[in-house]
Every structure is written in structure tokens, then in C-alpha cells.
Amino acid sequence: MTSMLPPTRDLPPGRQTRIRAELERAVAGRRRTSRFTVPLLAAAAAVAVVATGVVLLRPAPTDPSPAVHITTAPPPTTTSADFGLPPETVAEIEDGCAKSTGMVGKAKLHQLLNEQTQWALLYTDREYLDCHLGEAGMKYNSGFGQLNPKWLPGHFSVDGVSAHAGGDLDGRPGTVGKPGYRTVVGRVDARVAKVTISIDDRTEEAKVANGTYALRLYYPSNWAITNLEAQPSVQAFDAEGKLLGTSSDLWESCFFNPENGEIVHGDRRKPKDQCQVATPWK
């Protein structure tokens, strides 16, 4: 059982500069995007949209594009929106991930992760995007779920939960040997310093940054999703280690918009006096 992510490794002198130059070249040309097609999403509430199942993507193009190279992610901590990349490169990623869904609108990058897979977490004014970078020959390919990101149900939300079988079972070119994974993402308020996620007899710590948290739990390349109904247990803590809330609390609660009384999370049939006041995100 793991409770901490591995420490960030120092790069050799000059390596970070070369990585940045490679990334800028990779995203400088005309972008090929492939629309995300069949997410198995299960809406848990108006604010927290939870997806459980296999994310299915279109087959890879015949002229696969190279993976996008990004800098190594920092250890779990709340940080400012600095990805170690030029603003125009961040804008390219935001544009490519948004266009891959077919949606119209501006996406804002909140996390950029370089692990066993490369992926990003973005938000629009109506959706979250879980964007794959350079997977199966596609530069950008986003899963997404609808929500109202203006409001938080307490200290944190659970916006997206998904699972992807191992590459040996995928069937797309270039995926053999790639790991399977579960992905859990959401938003946090300023008090949250640590988020842990437990599922499949494992507990790991998510990366908390830019008002969000994100975690991928990796499995062998021959991993099949054995339980589509499995839901993670998410816990949020402050800087002193005090528990601020759990995902089970969210499932049992409702929250309303203080501006108009509309229930934005939980059972909309409940009277407002049985719900809590939602808090603004960021």
C-alpha cells in the first residue's frame, strides 16, 4: 500500500532546456485531434459528475503523431499555475485538448502530469477534461464530464472517476505493454493540502495543485477492469493533517447556490433547509 508519490528526480544539467525545446517543436505544427467518443459517465450530482467504466477512443491515425514531452511533475503540493513551459505552449495544450472533444469554448490547464502516461487536467466553464497526451498516436484526446465548476460542495469535489484497461487488451497500435489505470480528479478549496484516494486495497496520494487534485493508479498491461461499479474513497486533509471531508460525506449531502437557492450538488428534491451552502471555487 502506498501513501506517497515517489520524489521528483533532478534532471541532468541542460536536460530540462532540451525537453522544453522538444515540446515546443512537437506542438508548433498543425494539430491533429480525435474526438473522444464513448465515455461511460454516471452523474453523481449536478456539480460532481462521476464516470465509471472504460474510456473508448477512436483507432489511431495511420500517420501517428509523436508524444508530447512535458517536464517531470512536482511532488504532491498546492502550487501556483507554473508548468515550466512558455505561455504559448500551455495555450496549445489547452486548445488541442478542448478541440479533441468537439466542444466550443476555452479550457484552462490546471495540472500537467508526466508519469507512466502523460496527461492533463483542464476545466471549462461547464466541463472538466481528462486529456491524454500522445496516447496511441494522438497528440490530444480528452474524456470529459459536465458540471458547474463555479461551486464546491464543501472543501472538495469528486468530478471524474474513470478506468482504462491495460494496453495488452486495448487493441490499438502502440498500446501493447502500456499500463491500465484508474483516474480520479476533482477540485479543492484553499484549506485542502492533501488528498488521498483508496480503491482496490490501495491508498495513494493525489497531486494537489491550482485548486484541483489528480491521481492515476496504474495496473499491469494485462489488467482488465474487474469491477465497473467500484468507487474510490476520497479523503481531504488540511496542512495540519486534520480530516476535512470524505467522498462518502458528499454522496449523502446536498449543497445549494447561496445566490439563488438552487441545489447544485445532491438530491434536488430535498428542501433547501436540509442542505448546506455551497462555496465558490477559486
Mean pLDDT, residues 250-257: 93
2 occurs within a structural domain? no
Q: Residue 38 is placed in which grid cell?
A: 464513448
Instruction: Indicate if the pLDDT at residue 47 is higher than 90.
Output: no
123 occurs within a structural domain? yes
Among 188, 22, 178, 51, smallest CA distance to 111 is for: 188
pLDDT tens per residue across span 199-216:
999 999 999 999 999 999
Please state the length of the chain: 282
- Residue 282 pLDDT level (bands cut at 50, 70, 90): confident
Q: What's the CA gap between 210 and 196, in Å, rounded?
A: 17
5 occurs within a structural domain? no
| CA 160, chain centre distance (Å) | 7
- Tally the domains of the chain: 1
Q: Which residue has the cell 486495448?
A: 170
Mean pLDDT check: name the lowest of 31-35, 232-236, 273-277. 31-35
Domain that holds residue 60: 15-280
Mean pLDDT check: name the lowest of 14-18, 53-57, 127-131, 183-187. 53-57
Mean pLDDT, residues 124-132: 95
| Local structure of residue 251 (DSSP, 8 states) | H
151 occurs within a structural domain? yes
Is the CB of residue 166 less than 8 Å from the CB of residue 219?
Answer: yes
255 occurs within a structural domain? yes
Kindly compute the dihedral angle of the four CA atoms of residues 93, 221, 169, 96, in this order, to the nearest 10 degrees.
Answer: 0
pLDDT tens per residue across span 103-112:
878 999 999 9
Judging by DSSP bridges, how do beta strands 255-256 and 276-277 pair with one another? parallel
Q: What's the CA gap between 74 and 167, in Å, rounded?
A: 26
Q: What pLDDT shows up at residue 84?
A: 87
Among 215, 249, 247, 250, smallest CA distance to 234 is for: 247
Judging by DSSP bridges, how do beta strands 41-43 and 49-51 pair with one another? antiparallel
Average pLDDT over the chain reads 78
Report the percentage of the chain scoring pLDDT > 70: 71
Q: What beta strand segments (E) does 73-187 contain? A: 108-114, 118-123, 127-135, 138-146, 151-152, 160-164, 180-187
Among 75, 155, 87, 165, smallest CA distance to 115 is for: 75
pLDDT tens per residue across span 10-43:
444 454 445 444 544 444 443 333 333 333 333 3
Q: What pLDDT shows up at residue 63?
A: 34
Ranges 60-64, 170-174, 200-204, 266-270, most confident? 200-204
61 occurs within a structural domain? yes
**CB burial string 264-280: b at 16+ within 10 A, e below:** bbbeeeeeeeebeebee
214 occurs within a structural domain? yes
Is the CB of residue 158 less than 8 Å from the CB of residue 247?
Answer: yes
Mean pLDDT, residues 151-165: 95
Q: What's the CA gap between 100 and 93, in Å, rounded?
A: 11
Q: What's the CA gap between 138 and 34, in Å, rounded?
A: 7
Q: What pLDDT shows up at residue 205?
A: 98
50 occurs within a structural domain? yes
Rg (CA), the chain: 19
Q: What pLDDT shows up at residue 65?
A: 36
- Residue 81 pLDDT level (bands cut at 50, 70, 90): low
